[in-house]
């Protein structure tokens, strides 16, 4: 059972480290992070491993929050652009109707 938990912890740690490192760094940094995690596990230094994982989760969370903010901003800009387009089309329609009414009034 202990081996299963250790294997699961190792897998989670490697996954988090790889995800956060790939977000901002190259392949060598992923290998270095993997080596640090493996050393922590081999030495039984779970406090250091926990601290390292916590740091990586914070980095990953910050990266995701930044991306969500970018996507939200782009969606808001698209919505504003669509609203502006609809407003322009409505204004053009009102102008066209006014011109038609003016022409009809002149003919009468």
Residue 78 DSSP label: H
The per-residue pLDDT for 43 is 83
**How far from 3 is each of 7, 8, 17, CA to CA, in Å?**
6, 8, 21
The per-residue pLDDT for 81 is 82
* C-beta of residue 22 within 8 angstroms of C-beta of residue 30: yes
**By CB neighbour count within 10 A (0-12 exposed, 13-18 middle, 19+ buried), where does 97 fall?**
exposed
| Residues in the chain with pLDDT values less than 70 | 1-2, 6, 16-30, 108
- The pTM of the whole model exceeds 0.75: no
* C-beta of residue 30 within 8 angstroms of C-beta of residue 17: yes
* C-beta of residue 41 within 8 angstroms of C-beta of residue 49: yes
* C-beta of residue 33 within 8 angstroms of C-beta of residue 21: yes
The per-residue pLDDT for 25 is 54
For the chain, what are the domain ranges? 2-107
Any residues with CB less than 8 A from the CB of 81 and at least 6 apart, and which?
A: none
The per-residue pLDDT for 57 is 81
**Separation of first and last alpha carbons in the chain:** 95
């Amino acid at each position: 059972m202990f081996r299963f938990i250790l294997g699961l912890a190792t897998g989670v740690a490697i996954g988090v480290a790889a995800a956060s490192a790939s977000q901002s760094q190259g392949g060598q940094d992923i290998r270095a992070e993997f080596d640090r995690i493996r050393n922590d596990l081999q030495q039984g230094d779970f406090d250091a491993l926990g601290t390292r994982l916590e740091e990586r989760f914070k980095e990953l969370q910050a990266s995701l929050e930044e991306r969500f903010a970018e996507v939200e901003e782009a969606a808001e800009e698209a919505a504003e652009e669509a609203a502006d387009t609809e407003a322009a089309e409505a204004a053009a329609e009102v102008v066209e109707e006014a011109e038609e009414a003016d022409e009809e009034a002149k003919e009468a």
